[in-house]
Amino acid sequence: MAREFSRTRRIAQQLQQELAQVLQRDMKDPRIGFVTVNDVDVSRDLSYAKVYVTFFEEDEKLVQEKVEALDAAAGYIRSLVAGRMKLRVMPELRFIYDSSLVEGMRMSNLVSRVISDDEAKQKQHSDQQDTPQNTDDKSEGEE
């Protein structure tokens, strides 16, 4: 009988939860600010973990500085998480900015703008049809 989740996936989920708590509660670095851990991808041998994070910043330079601050503190974060998890090998953490949330919001805004523009054009078109522009059309229908 096959397992629902592989061991690496279960470890990745637990690592994601522990990292979120550590980054929220234990990190005092003001450069990092508010960070969300979106996903963790652990290698099969548990030696590396890619940690996908999101910040509520749109400035690429500021985002890059925050990722660099996380990378600089990766050893400290790793030691904090290792104390919470019972693993023989604690994966080396690599932080990667996940832009999918920001891109999703941007796409949603574009769709909303297109819909509102379309509704405005449709309303303008119906308003033009309601007002008589040519009086000759009425006189032909009356004859």
* 1 confidence band (pLDDT: 50, 70, 90): very low
Burial 54-89 (b: 16+ CB within 10 A, else e): bbeeeeeeebeebbebbeebbeebbebbeeeeeeee
51-93 pLDDT, tens digit per residue, is: 999 988 778 898 899 999 999 999 999 999 998 888 888 999 9
82-129 pLDDT, tens digit per residue, is: 988 888 889 999 999 988 877 888 899 999 999 998 888 888 888 777
What's the pTM? 0.70
Q: How far apart are CA 125 and CA 119, in angstroms?
A: 10
CATH number of 4-98: 3.30.300.20
